[in-house]
Amino acid sequence: MTVVETRPEGVPSFERALPAARPGRRPADERINWKTSWPFFLVHLLPFLAFFTGVTTKAVVLCVVLYFGRMFFITAGYHRYFAHRSYRMGRVPQFLMAFGGSTAAQKGALWWAAHHRQHHRATDTELDVHSPLKGIFWSHVGWILCNKYKDTDLDGIRDFAQYPELMWLERKQWLGPWLLGVASYLIAGWSGLVIGFFLSTVLLWHGTFLVNSAAHLIGRRRYATQDTSRNSFIVALFTGGEGWHNNHHYYPASARQGFFWFEFDPTYYGLRALSLVGIVKDLRQPPARVRKAGRLKDGHFDVGMFRAHWSKATNTLGRFAMSATDVEAKKAALEASVQSALRAADELAKSSRPRRVVLPTE
């Protein structure tokens, strides 16, 4: 008989901050900066130029290819490689992966990965960059349009910031989209630019953003995580397998997010193909013992959903309980109550989790 620990590997332990609250009025640096965000909204209108350019078959094919092709660079490159280092590759394919991701107009690989790492360090707390507990619009796109997260946190991505070519690409974030836009025009004319490039870019933005918003609100939870992540086949279908978000938050170091054969994960299939020709190496997967542990159906306490519901309840209570004369005192008492409840939840989660399991010897 073999005795193994049940705690997932690759999941860091840290003190959790206060659950994210819905602010009545956001701080100035968390509000939309309309002066810098107008290009984002303009791009959403450009596909309507198709009424004047027409829509060709070549442009539609180009739109589909650019959507799924660039989605792979985001999911396999920006997310699973730069943010989580779930596999290895050399500097040349590393640069090409970063450049391919930059054509999606979602800023540079270092900006993207640094903020995503912060999301994992503090998921669904006040320190989370895009918690849906702050509102669906905020988690979907609002956090990108404000000033608070406009800069690249190089301290959070020092392992990749050491490469001059990646730093150069970070400074030239505009290069990839512009080159791809010109290429789309040369391939399929004005329709190729409007439908092939701009429409696929808008769809790609919101496909990616669904993981931050919908994948924390819609779907099922298999594992007891300290957040509200969920598994959704629909989200996985449009994002190359990123919809298995509860799996991912349970074991973020894995290059495979569809833990089981029936969980559609084309990004992983693509990485497997690249590994067969030696472009990528050491694809990490969750061990069988990890996939079997931590399941809610086995009685594990769902501390993530407890935190979320407790946060909503205390926010609602706070709006009714606070008067103009003792707002600060009541706020401090309320936050103390929340922290006390969260500590109790952590202890309950630990006590309800089987510490050791016995697996039959092969």
pLDDT over 90 at 32, yes or no: yes
Structure tokens that stand for 300 in this block: 């594990």
- pLDDT band for position 158 (50/70/90)? very high
4: pLDDT strictly greater than 50: no
Residue 117, pLDDT above cutoff 70: yes
Q: Over the chain, what is the mean pLDDT?
A: 86
Whole-number Å distance between alpha carbons of 139 and 128: 10
CB 173 within 8 A of CB 107: yes
The answer, yes or no, to whether residue 357 has pLDDT greater than 50, is: no
Name the pLDDT band for 2 (thresholds 50, 70, 90): very low
User: Is it the case that residue 89 has pLDDT exceeding 80?
Assistant: yes
Max avg pLDDT among 27-41, 124-138, 185-199, 343-357 = 185-199
Taking the C-alpha atoms of residue 271 and residue 333, their distance in angstroms, rounded to an integer, is 50
Say yes or no to pLDDT of 252 above 60. Answer: yes
Q: Are 46 and 198 in contact (CB under 8 A)?
A: yes
CB 77 within 8 A of CB 100: yes
Strand partners, 2: 359
Please name the helix (run of DSSP H) or strand (run of DSSP E) that holds residue 288, with its range, or none.
Answer: helix 288-292
Q: How confident is the model at residue 215 (pLDDT cuts 50, 70, 90)?
A: very high
What percent of the chain clears pLDDT 70, i.e. is strictly above it?
Answer: 79
Do the Cβ atoms of 70 and 177 come closer than 8 Å? Answer: no
Between residues 8 and 326, the one the model is more confident about? 326
Strand pairing report for 2-5 and 356-359: antiparallel
> Above 50 in pLDDT, residue 12?
no
d(Cα 301, Cα 351) in Å, to the nearest integer? 9
**Distance between CA atoms of 197 and 202, rounded to whole angstroms?**
9
